[in-house]
Amino acid sequence: MSPRKKTAIKSNTDEVLIPDKLYFRIGEVATLCRLPAYVLRFWESEFPQLKPVKSSTGQRMYRKRDVENVVRIKQLLYEQGFTIVGARQQLRSEMKPDKNQGAIPFPTPNSPDMQRIRQGLREILTLLSTRRTG
C-alpha cells in the first residue's frame, strides 16, 4: 500500500497539509484549517466557490478543491485584510480562465481526422449490431 500524498498550502501564519483523499467531513476541514465549523457553514453562503456535496445522511463532504478554497479564503480575510465582498471578488478573478491560454484544438467537423473517426465508429456499430442479431 502506497503512502498517501499531502498537499501543502503555505500561508504567512501557518501551513495547512491537506491529505490526498476524495472527501473531507466538515469537522476534518475545521481541524485542518483551524476554523470553527460554523465559520465554514457561513462561508458556504458567502462564497459560491464553496459547494460541498451532501452525503445520503446530509453530512457535508468537502472535496480537496473546496479545502484549498477554504485555505485561500482564510488567507484573504485573516491575513490580507479583505472584506468578505472583496475576498469574493478576488477569488472570482483568480478563478477566471487565462485569456492568453489557447482553446483546445478540436478538429473541424469535416476534417479528414473527424471523417476517419466517424467511419471507425460506424464500423464498430455495425460489428455490435451484427453480434446482437447473429
* CATH architecture under which domain 6-95 falls: Orthogonal Bundle (1.10)
**Domain chopping of the chain, boundaries:** 6-95
Give 10-residue mean pLDDT values along the chain (134 residues): 49 66 93 95 94 89 93 95 94 73 60 83 88 64
pLDDT for position 116: 85
Cell of 86: 472583496
Residue at grid coordinates 478573478: 93
Query: Residue 117 — left, alpha, or beta (φ > 0 → left; ψ -120 to 50 → alpha)?
Result: alpha
pLDDT for position 12: 44
pLDDT for position 1: 46
Q: pTM of whole model > 0.75?
A: no
pLDDT for position 67: 93
